[in-house]
A and B are shown apart, each in its own frame.
Chain A
């Protein structure tokens, strides 16, 4: 293999060597040499042509989030790469391992405002874990290796590699052997034994303990260890938005989601707790409400692989820097006195009884479901049918967008398996769902991938529907919760701004006809009694299906914590 290769061929080979088999992107002038080369490697390196680079970026995110593997997206220089900025920012906020490969103008004209030149490394510096501007063919192979290593280790995140056209065109005898040398990058995986002992001691002294699990548990594939730890000590488990599915919600120890649209009993449990073990969550303001009022009585243990997250938003009693899985394994190795453990289990069980009483009193889930008059189609009716049909068939993954429908999905659908709930959390990127689902469906052809989306967000990226057709993907079904508003903003306007619906009423195209124009099956549902038949038809159809659920327009997501209020102060209706 001492033959010369072009930089573009080397790029393909380096990607394959580092475990990449699927990429999402669009070609253009500067990235053309890469597209020319990838044709030779197409049996090992599948390229999926998207319709907009933002779609390619979100698809790569969906691929990464549902598999834990690196998601790869491609854009050409200039607008091709600036279109990647939103998904890169989204991946940054949600710690998604992503590699963005960008074409750049030739090094000879770099810095001279050449056609389609944009300083994409400068632009993405604050939203990437690291980025590279590669101007020499000699640097391509190593940059790919290092970029994927950085993106997938420690706290995962997006890494961007910008390669000039002349570097892609130049040739050399490739050398893939250079070892990774990153003296400034040493993620800590093993938690400190001393801290772990201290954390357990604190826990065993507590009377109202809770455990909260977040995205870090998902990233570390630590669901089994969470289960083992929770059962060993009988400690109640709270799952954040990105933790949904990491702990099965039908487990007797599962409490549900906290935060702005979390359940009352979960937020109450946090506020009354005297011990909170947060594993792999970053105390986002949507979880904590006003941070200074969060869990006022609790000793807090925070396990996170990123030291900068510890103490950033909430003060912590015992910090543990490490990988969620390895820290939990170390915690399980500890053997406190059995009498102490038994005593703790008993106390925790009593506390659990109390929290379950709170839940019985406040659980909001059933409010709209058992009402006598179902002629008006509430969003909740749609979710009830989706839940039933999904559970009957199993093997589902749900990708949600951002807004009311997203919170309802988190609240009302059932989450049992890790990596089955995929959403844009930190960045809150409307338009995420449809393209992200493309990535999920490609990675999991055996599962039914449901897109649950609002009518607003859907219109931001619906062009990616045609990619599903071009790639002959059949396992995507879309449920649009269509209320004719940018609903979450409308809800705030209703609750806090005297119903001044400024900029929120929304006209949509006929989604059924749109679906049909794209070669999908389209269904419109206008009343509650049609929901079940529509969902069953979607399942029965061998191909992509879109259902437009024209739900009651002015419905709010409750419970709700108003911004900058304590999570103890919830509005419930």
Chain B
């Protein structure tokens, strides 16, 4: 199955994430990764979802059926910046510290906590780079790990701003069309 990256803008209402995720579950779409957060526009959340599906068009249409979903874009084939963060807690005896520090430096990872027998490293990058880093540190003994899931943004001026989606001009269109249909 093909992997798709969808960027979804939605109204920041209680339950909206539940609605989206529940739709994925009941229609049998497989979520590989999911990240949600606020955007530049108040009241709008942005979800980056990595989904495995051969019928991504249906996934997009079903997302649009949710009243609070404003915009869905499949950015899989667009030039994007993709980032993911991992926090990794390693079991590190003092004699191996230097080796780990060197490795972190190569990957541009940050050491955010050090204790007598452990270290917490923050690794941010494209998903492949994060995978690669985790493979490299795995032999040292990972005690805990947590990944945020992927976020993605299209490069260049074009993009997915929420601001232009909440203008009010369309309201009359809908009301007008509805009354036209009723006649």
A interface with B by C-beta (< 8 Å)? 121-122, 125-126, 129-130, 133, 149-150, 152-153, 179-187, 189-190, 220, 306-308, 311-312, 323, 325-326
Contact = CB atoms under 8 A, between A and B. Distances in A.
- What does DSSP make chain A's interface, helix, strand, loop or mixed? loop
B181 A186 contact: no
Contacts of B14: 133
A133 B14 CA distance: 9
A185 B64 CA distance: 8
Nearest to A189: B177
A179 B171 contact: yes
Contacts of B19: 125
Interface of B: 10-11, 14-15, 18-19, 22-23, 26, 57-58, 61-62, 64-70, 165-168, 170-171, 173-175, 177-178, 180-181
Contact of B23 (A126, A130, A325): A126
Contact of A183 (B66, B70, B175): B70
B126 to A, nearest CB: 30
Residue among B22, B67, B166, B178 with max Cβ neighbours from chain A (10 Å): B67
Nearest to A150: B67
Nearest to B170: A186
Given A184-B69, A308-B61, 8 more contacts: A121-B15, A125-B22, A126-B22, A181-B171, A183-B166, A187-B174, A189-B180, A189-B181
Contacts of B66: 184
Contacts of A129: 67
12 contacts: A121-B15, A126-B22, A133-B14, A182-B171, A182-B174, A183-B165, A183-B170, A184-B67, A184-B70, A308-B65, A323-B181, A326-B181
Contact of B57 (A122, A306, A311, A326): A311
Residue among B10, B14, B26, B61 with max Cβ neighbours from chain A (10 Å): B61
A240 B175 CA distance: 30
Contacts of A130: 67
A94 B165 CA distance: 31
A121 B19 CA distance: 10
Contacts of A306: 65
Given A130-B67, A153-B178, A323-B181, A183 B61 contact: no
Given A126-B23, A181-B171, A187 B177 contact: yes
A306 B62 CA distance: 10
Contacts of A184: 10-11, 66-70
Nearest to B14: A133
Contact of A190 (B166, B168, B177): B177
Contacts of B170: 183, 186
The 9 closest A-B pairs by CB, nearest first: A308-B61, A189-B177, A184-B70, A130-B67, A153-B178, A323-B181, A183-B166, A185-B67, A184-B69
A14 B166 CA distance: 26
Contacts of B26: 126
Given A125-B22, A181-B168, A186 B174 contact: yes
Contacts of B67: 129-130, 150, 182, 184-185
Contacts of B166: 183
Contacts of B174: 153, 182, 185-187
Nearest to A153: B178
B163 to A, nearest CB: 11
B168 A311 contact: no
Given A125-B18, A184-B10, A307 B181 contact: no
Contact of B58 (A149, A189, A312): A312
A129 B62 CA distance: 12
A285 B67 CA distance: 27
Contacts of B173: 186
